[in-house]
Structure 1
Amino acid sequence: MKLHHVPASAGIQWVKLGIRTFFRQPLALAGLFFMFMLVVSVLSIVPVLGHALALALLPAATLGLMAATREAAAGQFPMPTVLASAFQAGRERVRAMLVLGAIYAAGSFVIMGLTALIAGTGPVAIDPEQVESAGELLRQPGVMRGLLVSLVLYVPLGLLFWHAPALVHWHGVSPAKSLFFSALACWTNKGALLVYFLGWTGVFFGVSLGLVLLATLLGGPKLLSLLLFPVAMLMSAMFFSSLYFTFRDSFTTDDGQAPA
């Protein structure tokens, strides 16, 4: 495997490929994303170990969504079993994926602790009877500060894990090396990744604006509240559908071809 430097314009291409591939198999890719969210949500409410298990499964679940995108891009219908692709690649790679998951969970808990130390005394208690909108929630003392601190701290963790699950699963790279090469690839293609995130920001903003205009013309706040969650989930599914292409174009095999 070799790093492949791509131009900044590739970032927009990744956004387009994610959206285009999603609409090739919208029911399958949306359904798999909903399954992924359901599993994470159910695990998160399990007492004691549930939250840690949910975090530990995120790298494997992300890999499953990337595998589904690869099948959709090849004209195939991704079956639900593709979501468990990370656990169907042999004992060594399953063990490596579990190690990645454990590292990710540990890193997430460290970030939560640092956020509590830097931004305040811990999670902010919110009285639902006094908070009627997202705007009011963000105006609560410490909430916005905590979100910003958490976002900044999660950036390096995200870069470490951006390509790591795919490197472990498809190319047998060890967990430590996969984290290193993931961060190196993100840095090498930082221009394309910046354009990629700006592109998705524009897409999300444009869709949100369209929802607000539609609700204003047809149904007001009730229609907006009705559409907001399903549309946000579909947009998130499209975003996850684009992750595979950022990996595919950031590495080449020894013969100069893009990885499968």
Structure 2
Amino acid sequence: MKLNVVPAKTGSLWVRQGIRAFWKQPLALTGLFFMFMASMSVLSIVPVLGSFFALMLLPAATLGLMAATREVELGKFPMPFILAAGFRTGAEGKRNMLMLGLIYALCFVGVMGLSTLVDGGDFAKLYLVGGSLEMETIMEPDFQNAMWLSMMLYLPLSLVFWHAPALTHWHGVPVGKSLFFSTVACLSNWRAFLVFGLMWSAIFLGTTFAITIIGSLVGDGDFAAMALLPAMLMLASMFFSSTYYSFKDCFTSDVIYA
């Protein structure tokens, strides 16, 4: 396995490749992302440990979406069981995926725990437990500071885990090394990832703005609410498809993905 350093423009290529892959199987990939979100939501309902278990499964679930994109690229139809690709390996592969999930969940809870020092736990409780979000709460300075702190802390966490599940699953890299190599790959290719992030931010914001404007023009107050959900599901599916290409370009290996 070899780490590649790619030019900044490659970030835009990943976005285009993800969008192109999505439109080859739009219903299948959107459905898989919906199943992924529904599974996380159902687990989160379980009292006390539900949200923690959902966080533990997140690295494996994101790997499943990458594997689905690979199936599409190979001209195959991604079946629902592809979401469990991370656990359809040997005992060591399952153990590594569970270990990655445990580390991710503990780190995420740690990020939320630090945010409680700012607002007393309001943001963390809303994110981990759920509940109604009042406008008064959003406008509180402490709540906003906790939200921004969580976002700033989550960014390096996401870089650490960006490639780790794929490295563990497809290349058999041990957990510790997969986290290290993921971090190095993201930092070495920060220009490409910056372009990647900016483009996806523009796409999400632009789509939201366009739907809102259309709703205003047609004079239908419910249009935006009805159109935003399927639009966001589709865009999120495209985003996760594009992460597969970021992994594929950041690492090369003689190993054939399975």
Q: Equivalences for 1:57-136 in 2 at 5 Å?
A: 57-117=57-117, 119-123=118-122, 131=135
**5+ unaligned residues in a row in structure 2: which ranges?**
none
Aligned residue number for residue 248 of structure 1: 248
Q: Which amino acid aligns with 2:122?
A: P
Aligned residue number for residue 220 of structure 2: 220
Alpha-carbon distance, 1:90 to partner? 1.0
d(CA) in 2 for partners of 1:130, 1:114:
22
Q: Equivalences for 1:11-26 in 2 at 5 Å?
A: 11-26=11-26
Aligned residue number for residue 177 of structure 1: 177
Q: Which amino acid aligns with 1:121?
A: G
Aligned residue number for residue 28 of structure 1: 28
Alpha-carbon distance, 1:159 to partner? 0.7
Aligned residue-pair number: 253
Change (3 A) 1:68 1:130: closer
**Root mean square deviation, CA, Å:** 2.0
Q: Which amino acid aligns with 1:122?
A: G
Q: Taking every aligned residue pair, what percent have the same amino acid on both sides?
A: 50
| 1:98-134 deviations in Å (ceiling 9; x for gaps) | 00000000001111111111x2211158995964xxx
| 1:3-50 deviations in Å (ceiling 9; x for gaps) | 001000000000001111001000110000000000000001101211
Secondary structure of the 1:82 match is helix
TM-score of the superposed pair, with normalisation by structure 2 = 0.93
d(CA) in 2 for partners of 1:129, 1:20:
36
d(CA) in 2 for partners of 1:145, 1:102:
27
| 1:65-121 deviations in Å (ceiling 9; x for gaps) | 00000111121110001011001111111100100000000001111111111x221
TM-score of the superposed pair, with normalisation by structure 1 = 0.92
d(CA) in 2 for partners of 1:129, 1:101:
28
Aligned residue number for residue 190 of structure 1: 190
**5+ unaligned residues in a row in structure 1: which ranges?**
none
The answer to whether the 8 A contact 1:68-1:78 is kept is yes
Q: Which amino acid aligns with 1:66?
A: M
d(CA) in 2 for partners of 1:240, 1:27:
14
d(CA) in 1 for partners of 2:45, 2:155:
26
Secondary structure of the 1:221 match is coil
Secondary structure of the 1:220 match is coil
Q: Which amino acid aligns with 2:172?
A: G
The answer to whether the 8 A contact 2:119-2:143 is kept is no
